Amino acid sequence: MSAPERVFIGLGSNLAEPTEQLRQALHGLRQLPATQWAGVSGLYLSDSLLPGQPRYSNAVAALDTTLAPLALLDALQRIENEQGRVRAERWGPRTLDLDILLFGERLLDEPRLRVPHYQLHLRPFVLYPLAELVPGDFTLADGRALSELLRACPFQGLERAGELA
């Protein structure tokens, strides 16, 4: 059996009681096989990237897992589907979005999964919650320092709204 790897999952929702959707997702994450719960950031509210959509509730969860990356992705998509996720339009409103942000020290570029997440550096609603879960000198597997990414991605349109768990 391989050693567990620390994985960070981005959570987002802007439909059907978004904060409750995130709480239900946390319950699902805690039930994943071959996975140990390691923590969750605070709750953040963010403006949608597209005009006309409701605000999002966001958080980042940390897990230690021995699941393979695509097995974890499949498990996350099952949780999304169980919570009513419909993939009708890209970047459309959603009941739940679970993204693998980081997977240990891995760099992945596969048709279904890119790690670190390909838009991580553009998303304050991911970077700021992630910063709550890692040391201040944290460096991503691709060599980028989280502190530099935070400086380049301002906290605008984002509000810390308390604790989720």
CATH of the domain at 46: 3.30.70.560
Catalytic status, residue 160? no
List, in sequence order, the alpha helices (H) in 37-165: 69-82, 124-131, 146-152
* Catalytic entry in 23, 55, 85, 114: 85
Q: How many domains does the chain have?
A: 1
Residue 131: predicted pLDDT:
97
Residue 84: predicted pLDDT:
81
Provide block-wise average pLDDT over 10 residues at a time, the chain (165 residues).
Answer: 93 95 97 97 92 92 98 96 76 86 97 94 95 95 96 92 89
Catalytic status, residue 23? no
| 76 located within any domain | yes
DSSP code, position 70: H
C-alpha distance from residue 89 to each of 94, 101, 128 (Å):
10, 21, 26
pTM greater than 0.85: yes
Q: How far apart are CA 47 and CA 132, in angstroms?
A: 20
| 165 located within any domain | no
* Catalytic entry in 6, 55, 74, 99: 99
Catalytic status, residue 90? no
Q: Which domain holds residue 95?
A: 5-160
| 86 located within any domain | yes
Contacts of 18 (CB under 8 A, 6+ apart): 54, 55, 56, 57
Q: How far apart are CA 97 and CA 85, in angstroms?
A: 8
C-alpha distance from residue 101 to each of 6, 77, 108, 116 (Å):
11, 14, 11, 5
Catalytic status, residue 99? yes
